[in-house]
Amino acid sequence: MKIKFKITPFIIALFLFANNLDLQATNKTSDPEKDKVLIYILRNILTRSHFVVKEMNDDFSEHVYKEFINGLDPSKRYFTQKDLKEFSKYKYQIDNQLLKEDISFYNLVYERFKTKIKNAKLYYGDLLAQPFNFNKNEDINVDYEKTPFAKNENELIDYWRKQLKLSTLIRIQEKLEKQENAQEKDKKTPIKNFKTLEKEARIEVLKNMDDLYIRIEELEHDDWFSTFLNAVVSAFDPHTTYMAPSTKERFDQDMSGKLEGIGARLQKKGIYTHIFELVSGGPAWKQGDLEPGDIILEVAQGDEEAIDIVGMRLDDAIKFIKGKKGTEVKLTVKKKLDGSTKVISIIRDVVELEETFVKSSIVEKNGKKYGIIDLPKFYIDFDEKNYRDSATDMEQEIERLKKENVDGLLIDLRNNGGGSLKTAIEISGLFIDKGPVVQVKYRDEEPIIKQDVDPKTQWTGAVVVLVNEFSASASEIFAAAMQDYNRAVIIGGNKTYGKGTVQSVLPINRFTKYEKDLGAIKMTIQKFYRINGGSTQIEGVYSDIAIPSRFSYMTYGEKDLEGALIWDKVKQANYVKTNTYENFADVIYNSKQRIASDKKFKLINEYAKWLKEKQDNTSYSLNYKNFAKQNKAQEKDAEKFKTVFDYTSNLTFSSPEYELPDIKKDTVLADKRVAWHKNLSKDIAVYEALNVLSELKIKNTAALVKN
């Protein structure tokens, strides 16, 4: 969650200190100087302004030690216990090093890692050159967190062998199943023997590994140093992260839902940059010559000389292709359809990422119309005040649905990971009269009550909010406010994610005259609390009506993150629950009864338990016969869940009137809406949420609280 940062005397002091450090570093462009500047600024910001007071001591040092090594080698493919013995001399010294801007630990591990990467290419190439022995009785456990580092190089190579053998085994099984299915359809389908399929599988695994290491070799010092910096900052809490310049750019794009460029999603395949998808309504889509599957060979800025991007890492290629609105880029492209080469001129523009924004649908049930509003995130552009944000879009969407005479609103926040605190407060205000919405607390300060100050209530009718286990942060603020006011029924997963902290994004160059872009830090500076005083941290928001889902028993959420801040509470704010519904408790009771007796929901619950068992079972046989038996047993178990999500309601979903002209002229948008509406009609959670919405009876539309 991003908010504007609170300027403190410390920040001003830090600016002066950092500038003094830069007098020695400004004229130097080497990475060591840049790294020292980053360490210095991050260390001071975190220790003085992070929500948690954290000493840089031996515990801190041990955390950084473990996180950095695991960040580089999560699958235990590179380092051995011999390496760790050498690294361990710094295990309790990293805190002392960082106080001196000393990165000896990083340099030792990073240099060793580069050597290990080179060795790995030899390992997997040699291992995949020969058939594996699938008659040997051996197992592999893929829970690598519990796997010890290899004792020596020989054991390390054996780790590689088992991992590659499992990958090959999975592909063989897939090929055999595909072959059996083809045989059932056509008896004349040629049959390949096990030896042939095994060879094909190894070739595929080899290609995947080669592609992986092409991408790994494209990574630079800054990429790996970012891993180290994130090991450092994560010692404060799991949501405090360092963002390299390219990461910060993507974050801003994600928050605002827009970018400036050609409007194409790119993908690296081998040494080539491919067009993966065109953004509907974007410059490339409007120009019409660029198509998914085309390969970009060269990029020129207007009439300047073209630059060859073949073999260039994707992030660098994107830098040449993106650009300011109104500028021209010329792409030399190899066409997918006929292999011809063509130069395509595109004028860059602002590209809106449609899937980021609010959208709505209308459905009729029992003679009444209801609006479904999908809010993917709480988006905002902090740099451009006049650009669209989720609050203004939500207000507009509600107004449009009111004109279509809908009788209730279903707001879908499933998988909404949050965003802007400001917009969460404003959107909450659309459903209540003015009053408190959330409480926020800085370190060592009293909570601040954030109010909805607008007396206007945009929607006075019935509201149901649909959530799941991945509704987080700003989603939880909105859901909690609606629940505390008794303004809406919360339905969905047992509880939401449980992220009750607020982050601010600080550009690091704000504190230095260093010329290179140093990126930003996303730092936890506040916790937020419900108006009833409780925190959503760890606990999340418990649904009024819990619906079984595939995630019901899975390991997920804030409570499962190492170093997550604790749950606590503050004094309740002064608020009065709305008196909106005649039958609030009865509607919840009726829904719970339906869910408890519904065969489909019971099956989903059984499926969730089965998925949890699969998640906990991390051991696989590498003997082909045993692996096949395990696979068959699993298929048999899965058979009873074959129809678990086969569900179709008798409801028809359609776009609101205002969107119909856009759909007529935009086939991409039309296809997306058709797919969305089809999914809504097959979504049992949406159906039950609409049942709840249709049963709610408004008591008195004038009774919304006034505080």
One of 222, 252, 407, 484 is an active-site residue; which one? 484
Instruction: Report how far apart, in Å, the C-alpha atoms of 643 and of each of 596, 603, 651 are.
Output: 19, 9, 20
d(CA 500, CA 655) in angstroms, rounded, equals 34
Identity of the amino acid at 525? I
DSSP β-bridge partners for residue 411: 373, 465
Of residues 363, 362, 401, 393, the one with CA closest to residue 377: 393
Both ends of the chain: CA-CA distance in Å?
A: 27
d(CA 587, CA 597) in angstroms, rounded, equals 16
Strands 328-334 and 295-301, bridge-based pairing: antiparallel
d(CA 477, CA 501) in angstroms, rounded, equals 11
Of residues 649, 653, 691, the one with CA closest to residue 491: 691
Residue 447, helix vs strand vs coil: coil
Any alpha helices (H) in 535-666, and if so which ranges?
584-597, 599-616, 624-639, 660-665
d(CA 621, CA 353) in angstroms, rounded, equals 45
473 catalytic per annotation: yes
- Residue carrying the six token digits 């390992």: 123
Q: Are 309 and 298 in contact (CB under 8 A)?
A: yes
DSSP-assigned letter for residue 191: P
One of 377, 499, 522, 527 is an active-site residue; which one? 499
The DSSP H or E segment spanning 392 is: helix 390-403
d(CA 429, CA 456) in angstroms, rounded, equals 8
d(CA 147, CA 66) in angstroms, rounded, equals 14
Identity of the amino acid at 277? E
484 catalytic per annotation: yes
Strands 462-467 and 520-529, bridge-based pairing: unpaired
**Three-class SS string for 250-301?**
HHHHHHHCEEEECCEEEEEECCEEEEEEECCCCHHHHHCCCCCCCEEEEEEE
Q: Are 413 and 400 in contact (CB under 8 A)?
A: no
The DSSP H or E segment spanning 160 is: helix 153-185
d(CA 348, CA 357) in angstroms, rounded, equals 21
Q: In a 10 Å sphere around its CB, with 0-12 CB exposed, 13-18 middle and 19+ buried, how is residue 251 labelled?
A: middle
Render the burial of 522-548: b for 16+ CB within 10 Å, e for the rest: bbbbbbbbbbbebbbbbbbbebbbbbb
- How remote is the C-alpha of 413 from its chain's centroid? 14
Give the length of the chain: 707
One of 473, 475, 535, 655 is an active-site residue; which one? 473
Count of Cβ atoms closer than 10 Å to residue 73 Cβ: 17
Q: Which residues are known catalytic residues?
A: 473, 484, 499
